[in-house]
Amino acid sequence: MAEIRQGKLICIALDAMGGDHGPSVTVPAAIHILSRHRDLKIILVGDHETLLQEVHNAGGKENESLQIHHASQVVTMDELPSQALRGKKDSSMRVAINLVKEGVADACVSAGNTGALMATARFVLKTLTGIDRPAICTMLPSINGHTHVLDLGANIDSSAEHLFEFAVMGSVLASAVDNNPNPTVGLLNIGEEEIKGNERVKEAARILAGSDLNYIGFVEGDGVYLNPPNVVVCDGFIGNVMLKASEGVAKLFAHFLKAEFKRNILTKLVALITMPVLKAFRKRIDPRAYNGASLLGLQGIVVKSHGSADQYAFGKAILEARKEVLEDVPNMIRKQLESHLTTKEAS
């Protein structure tokens, strides 16, 4: 897709005030990414003075590829989506999304309040025709590589049709970012047998089996991390619990491992010797490398960074947005949906 852009810079609007750390992370991350990717232009959205200061602090300067766009408000991390939508019309988040709507930017990246981001993006950009519910999709590591999992909390009580929409969107995303023409798709369930699960999952399985997606059947919770299909589809309540429980297990392990290495002078010595191995291990499971969840199903590209992202992690979210622009993901989803609707009408 890159060639049809004909040298035009990919423009990304950053909600530079969002996240736990705000501009102290977003601005240096932007400057670092720009130094590595000459096809990018970044618009930092937020308080002009603050951002200018951060740009200087990070050794950058305003130019064609790094611009500041003033916004007077900030959506806080615990604000209700409805409040953000009504009361914060000049927030850095809202203005960054507006820039996508107006065609000034190709994508928006934010580490801010997830609920407010989804509500605002949905309100401003609107959903694609045929998409009832946008979804949040992220990559998770697995023994055989990685998998794209959605929905992770944008929706609760998803119907079978919604799960099918998620499957279409996840399939397009996996196809685009992994350069995989026919990604496999599985449905998260409590057993691999056909008789297991609730009615919505069983009905979604029937719809998927009759579609032209590469549907391979049910996946159990452990399968997500062991040998998953390219895309795993689930209701947002379940996806959210699964993702957070996984984070919890990771933290529990890290806590106990640290405790054992700190037990006495001998184990502390062993820790020193083991450090390079542990570092290599940590790199393989580093959640920062997977930062950047996609809000799919919108008429525009919006990527959500983890609120606590550091500079490296936030940079990954910017690169995720860049990839989705290059691959024209929303348009691909639209086309895929149209082809499904046509097949349905023809049959």
Three-class secondary structure of residue 305 per DSSP: coil
20 binds a second copy (CB under 8 A): no
In the bound state with a second copy, the residue whose beta carbon lies nearer, of 78 and 345, is: 78
24 binds a second copy (CB under 8 A): no
Pick from 224, 293, 318, 333 the residue near a second copy by CB under 8 A: 224
Query: What does DSSP assign to residue 190?
Result: S
The dihedral formed by the CA atoms of 88, 291, 314 and 300, expressed in degrees to the nearest 10 = -50
Q: What residue type is assigned to position 46 of the chain?
A: G
Cα 345 to Cα 324: distance, rounded to the nearest angstrom: 30
In the bound state with a second copy, the residue whose beta carbon lies nearer, of 21 and 200, is: 200
118 binds a second copy (CB under 8 A): no
β-pair type (40-46, 10-15): parallel
Site for a second copy in 287-346 (CB under 8 A): none
80 binds a second copy (CB under 8 A): yes
83 binds a second copy (CB under 8 A): no
Beta-strand ranges (E) seen in the chain are 10-15, 40-46, 66-70, 107-110, 135-142, 145-150, 184-188, 214-219, 231-233, 293-296, 301-304
* 70: Cα within 13 Å, side-chain hemisphere: 3
Pick from 38, 103, 143, 345 the residue near a second copy by CB under 8 A: 143
CA 269 to chain centre: 40
* Distance in Å, CB of 267 to a second copy, minimum: 5
Interface characters, 242-271, with a second copy (x: CB under 8 A): xxxxxxxxxxxx-xxx-xxx-x---x--xx
* Distance in Å, CB of 138 to a second copy, minimum: 14
Binding footprint of a second copy on the chain (CB under 8 A): 78, 80, 141-143, 153, 156-157, 188, 190, 193, 195, 197-199, 220-226, 234, 236-238, 240-253, 255-257, 259-261, 263, 267, 270-271, 273-274, 276-278, 280-281, 284-285
